[in-house]
Structure 1
Amino acid sequence: MMTPEHIEYWHNPVLPEIELSRAKLTQFEFQKHIHLDYHVGVVSHGCQQYCHKGNTYLLTPGSISTLNPDETHNGQSRNAEGYEAHVLSIPAHYVKQVSDELNQGELFFNSPLIDTPRLQFAFLQLHQMLTSTQQFSSLEIETSMMAFTTELFSKHSELQPVKQNITTGLSHQQICQIRELFHDDLSHTFQLETLAVKFNLSKFQFLRAFKKTVGMTPHAYLKRVRLEHAKKAIINGGALSDIANQVGFFDQSHLNKAFKHAYLITPAHFQRRVL
């Protein structure tokens, strides 16, 4: 019987910017959220159900979940038995290296679910290698990571898709402007009215347009961006109170609560795992 509601995190010293996790969950639900990096996930036991761009998918053994940065999704167990999921988070700059090797532009996964048991098995082997206490050479680790990532993107990705305006939504250019505002000054206190005025919209119009385009409210999106940056800052070391201020939380207590709600682990425990 699986231990419920538990997530572990790792960073292999050979690939310190690659985040790995393993979750054993039954009742915990991931609310709608985004990631800054590319996320690849596999379920070894049970079934995870998640919503992506209005469609519902079932991640079961034999399949791979592939999510691009900034794609809104959620996640929960399909049944009472729960599930065990293994996740690999790949930074955009690493994928850029892969795209250069493939002589392509910016790469994006072309489907949120891939039914390829052989590739799924290769993923689990890689995940086990990167999280194992057993010693592997840097060459073996880097070669395995690059081989898997290159095959994954070469067979299941496409060039950056053309972004189209969504009726009553925001354009790709407008969304990029908002993202730049958020990422450039995480500690800034953003006001809904100030954001709306930038696009000659009322607060209601802006809120509705943003949610229709992104799938989340501006507040939920910004909160998640701040949490993603907090994780990266924790990995780099530093006082949690300072990190909380740097990424825009009122204090460490607010960071603790939001971090635990999103990742099922406190910042302090996460810091001890990765440092």
Structure 2
Amino acid sequence: MSTVTFYREDSLPFLEAKRCMRSDLAYQKHFHEEYSIGLIDEGETSAWCDGTLLQVEAGRVISFPPKMMHACQPLDDMEWQYKMLFIKPEWFQGLNHTELDQLDIPYLLEEGKNNACRLQINRTMEALISKGTPLEIETALIELIQALVSQNTDDLEHESQRKQDQKYVKLIKEYLHAHFDENVTLEQLENEAGISRFHLVRLFKKWSHLPPHAYQILLRINHAKLELTKQRPISEIAAEVGFYDQSHFSKAFVKIVGATPQKYALSI
């Protein structure tokens, strides 16, 4: 049966898990506020991440740091199943400085390291699904992170931005984060970044792989996910984040989350 299911443990609010068993589900370019660590259980996907396109097959672990743009398109005529862990960045503050420096989590892993991380993802998911104790769940998660951040020269890592470009993109992103629920104009972003709107759009799209308005929609959906965990009315949340048409909100939500706002709220 085609399904998308979410799992949580109330005493571990920094962690959310997702299991997808839908062969017809593809995702447009998007990002998460959390660290995202996934495992493909069945099938194969064209995985686009920050300008790079790769084929990723069953058994592979794939990961993205917060706000890293990515998209997945399962291959046709193949069963497609995967699981994903979403971990809020503040949880990682318990790591020491050396470990934090290694948190530019690799995109794809060397085979031996991949197998070790696959085992730990499955252990974490099994503990969540079977309603294991918080101690069991978080211990499995820590063991996963320790395996993931161990350095290996064969890992494929995410590309870093040039410092000057990063400065402007950071200013634009910070403004959009602060005003995600407003009708932001290019003139406002131009004034904030101190560069022309033509250069701004080109630079932002080069490094974020989306124009500013699409990035703003992602911010709105990510905020809506958080508000849905509070059992608030969906229509109220949609209006609050800038969607004055609930149908438009629902369509945008499905494209990014893989489930309707109603189903996501019911899973909590």
Q: TM-score range by the shorter chain?
A: 0.7 to 0.9
Asked whether the equivalents of residues 57 and 113 of structure 1 are also in contact (C-alpha less than 8 Å), the reply is no
Q: CA 1:58–1:109 in structure 2 vs 1: closer, same or farther (change >3 Å)?
A: farther
Q: Indicate yes or no: 2:118 matched with 1:123.
A: no
Pick from 25, 28, 44: which aligns with 1:28? 25
Q: Indicate yes or no: 2:60 matched with 1:63.
A: yes
Pick from 143, 148, 167: which aligns with 2:144? 148
Q: Aligned to 1:109, what secondary structure does the other structure show?
A: coil
Asked whether the equivalents of residues 187 and 245 of structure 1 are also in contact (C-alpha less than 8 Å), the reply is no
CA separation in 1, counterparts of 2:137 and 2:207? 39
CA separation in 2, counterparts of 1:64 and 1:162? 21
Partner of 2:162: 164
Q: Aligned to 1:249, what secondary structure does the other structure show?
A: coil
Partner of 1:42: 39
Partner of 2:134: 138
Partner of 2:103: 108
CA separation in 2, counterparts of 1:162 and 1:56? 16
CA separation in 2, counterparts of 1:261 and 1:62? 25
Deviations 1:68-115 (A, max 9, x none): 112111101124113101000111111222x33x64445433521113
**Offset of 1:178 from its aligned partner?**
1.8
The one-letter amino acid of 1:148's match is L
Asked whether the equivalents of residues 65 and 105 of structure 2 are also in contact (C-alpha less than 8 Å), the reply is no
Q: Indicate yes or no: 2:14 matched with 1:17.
A: yes
CA separation in 2, counterparts of 1:255 and 1:200? 32
Q: Which runs of 5+ in 2 are unaligned?
A: none
TM-score (norm 2): 0.87
Q: Which moved more, 1:82-91 or 1:21-30?
A: 21-30
Q: Indicate yes or no: 2:214 matched with 1:220.
A: yes
Alignment length, in residue pairs?
Answer: 263
Q: CA 1:189–1:247 in structure 2 vs 1: closer, same or farther (change >3 Å)?
A: same
State how 1:232-247 maps to structure 2 within 5 Å: 232-247=226-241
Pick from 178, 183, 187: which aligns with 1:189? 183
Q: CA 1:163–1:54 in structure 2 vs 1: closer, same or farther (change >3 Å)?
A: closer
CA separation in 1, counterparts of 2:129 and 2:256? 22
Partner of 2:197: 203
Deviations 1:118-171 (A, max 9, x none): 321221121121122xx42222222222222233223469xx986414xxxx72
RMSD: 2.6
Q: CA 1:146–1:111 in structure 2 vs 1: closer, same or farther (change >3 Å)?
A: closer
Asked whether the equivalents of residues 20 and 83 of structure 2 are also in contact (C-alpha less than 8 Å), the reply is yes
Q: Aligned to 2:103, what secondary structure does the other structure show?
A: strand
Q: Indicate yes or no: 2:254 matched with 1:268.
A: no
Q: Which runs of 5+ in 1 are unaligned?
A: none
Q: Give the % identical residues.
A: 24
Asked whether the equivalents of residues 27 and 76 of structure 1 are also in contact (C-alpha less than 8 Å), the reply is no
